[in-house]
Structure 1
Amino acid sequence: VRPQTVLLVFLSIVPQQCFGQIIGGRKADAHSRPYMAYLEIKNGRNTTACGGFLIRPDAVLSAAEQGSLELTEINENVQCISIAKENERVRVGDLCTVSGWGWTSKAGDMSDVLMEVALKVQYAEICEQLSNNFQCQSMICVGDEEEEKATYKGDSGGPLVCNKKAHGIVSHGYEDCLFPEIFTRISHFEPWIQKQLKRFSRKAIPCFPFSD
């Protein structure tokens, strides 16, 4: 299959480490997350791995630095996911899913398969108590109160999927606890994302969004 050039859009609100970890999750079913992309980012002699997700046939959204990559054509196993529009917000209590590759425990156990975990949207005040930098407009407070499930130590680059749309990107957590975590709020940046897509390709490219 002939690859196509794809825009890699960077979206992050804090400095990132480019690796993804899921604790307390489960193995994702084969082809159940057809929008997920595994990325290897090279910086000199160093190579780090992180996730991303396909938001258009020619664009991947991630927490990696902006650039381009090669992607095979869209088919039943490679599909896009819709992103939240500027006026769309998740609600406290919404159960969302995050997918990624990497550590599955604090001990650094690695996974060679895509993992996923279900996390709830929390009240902003919970994150505000731990961080003076928490901003409701551009961030989402997410996590599991029992501290048994989480993304861990950095960012997978994958989406926080709520109601079949990508509403957030794993941003950062806290070293001493798994709950809560801060996610970048995609809806806040949606106009900017659309602007970047138009700069890359002025021609509208149809996408058949993923749906469960």
Structure 2
Amino acid sequence: MQQLLLLLAFILLPGDEAEKIIGGREARPHSYPYMAYLLIQNPEGLTACGGFLVREDFVMTAAHCWGRSISVTVGAHNIQRRERTQQRINVRRAIRHPDYNTQNFTNDIMLLQLSRRIRRNKAVSPVALPRGAGERLRPGTLCTVAGWGRVSLSRGTNVLQEVQLRVQGDQTCRNRFRTFTTQTQICVGNPRKRKTAFKGDSGGPLVCNNVAQGIVSYGASNGTPPAVFTKIKSFLPWIRRTMRHLQCLTLAGAQA
């Protein structure tokens, strides 16, 4: 039961408020042009997650952010305002990894094909993905996570927050989470510092040296680091194959 509570830490359940960065600060407006805010409709109600642009017509997020229908907002700083920079787009198709496990959150990755391409500008543009599986993310690497929601267990905000976190050795997360898998997950956040991603940050990117290396997946229910991120480079073949397939489906539909 304790392990289940830990795994549920980053899932935004119906009725919960979006929660996010702990120990961070407000980001400079539009300094993360790849960030996406996901509003997810389920039979139980609305939930929210983070995500990030990886192409003009694709957003990447966590598989546990799946819903019956999803709308994506890019170019946002304050999600409660209708800023001129914002573009809101519906999701055409949401594809979870076929081996995603709802019990232990392995393979927690999902691609969202947008119903139309975003308009690229200073406030909206994709982030780079790892170029190959051979790239190694070493412990001690300083990375950035951004998201919307609470800045503590009890205080919220509507503006984008940012925090810098260091990659940890795998053993740090093995000691904390029985479900941690070295092959497909990254351990992030110094256990001695009160800085981490939190509930509504699910699906947001871990960006290291301007490359999206991870996806916020799960962590401790009280918001103490470290947290577990999906390792993007482990899924590069699936990502490329899925985007090609969905693009072909869209072209076939347009020609029919």
TM range (shorter): 0.7 to 0.9
In structure 2, what is the equivalent of residue 79 of structure 1? 125
User: In the alignment, is residue 193 of structure 1 matched against residue 192 of structure 2?
Assistant: no
CA separation of 1:151/1:75 partners in 2, compared to 1, >3 Å: closer, same or farther? Answer: same
Q: 2:181 aligns with which of 131, 135, 145?
A: 135
- C-alpha separation in 1, matches of 2:201 and 2:159: 17
Partner of 2:159: helix, strand, or coil?
A: coil
Superposition CA RMSD, Å: 2.1
Displacement after TM superposition at 1:81 (Å): 0.4
- In structure 2, give the amino acid aligned to 1:90: L
Write out aligned runs for 1:164-175 (5 A). 164-175=210-221
Q: 1:100 aligns with which of 125, 134, 147?
A: 147
After TM superposition, the structure 1 stretch with the greater mean CA deviation from structure 2, 162-171 or 58-67, is 58-67
- C-alpha separation in 1, matches of 2:192 and 2:177: 20
What stretches of structure 2 of length at least 5 have no aligned partner?
1-6, 13-17, 67-93, 95-111, 250-256
- C-alpha separation in 1, matches of 2:115 and 2:225: 36
User: In the alignment, is residue 145 of structure 1 matched against residue 191 of structure 2?
Assistant: yes
- In structure 1, give the amino acid aligned to 2:60: L
Give the length in aligned residue pairs: 189
In structure 1, what is the equivalent of residue 40 of structure 2? 41
Displacement after TM superposition at 1:77 (Å): 1.5
More strand by share: 1
Contact 2:149-2:200 within 8 A present in 1 as well: no
Contact 1:121-1:142 within 8 A present in 2 as well: yes
Deviations 1:142-162 (A, max 9, x none): 102333211123643110000
What stretches of structure 1 of length at least 5 have no aligned partner?
1-13, 204-212
- C-alpha separation in 2, matches of 1:17 and 1:134: 17
In structure 1, what is the equivalent of residue 103 of structure 2? none
Contact 2:187-2:227 within 8 A present in 1 as well: yes
Partner of 2:242: helix, strand, or coil?
A: helix
Contact 1:40-1:49 within 8 A present in 2 as well: yes
- C-alpha separation in 2, matches of 1:43 and 1:158: 20
Question: Structure 1-normalised TM-score?
Answer: 0.82
Identity %: 43
- C-alpha separation in 2, matches of 1:155 and 1:88: 25
Displacement after TM superposition at 1:68 (Å): 4.6
Contact 1:20-1:157 within 8 A present in 2 as well: no
Contact 1:23-1:103 within 8 A present in 2 as well: yes
Partner of 1:102: helix, strand, or coil?
A: strand
Give the number of the structure whose alpha-carbon radius of gyration is greater.
Answer: 2
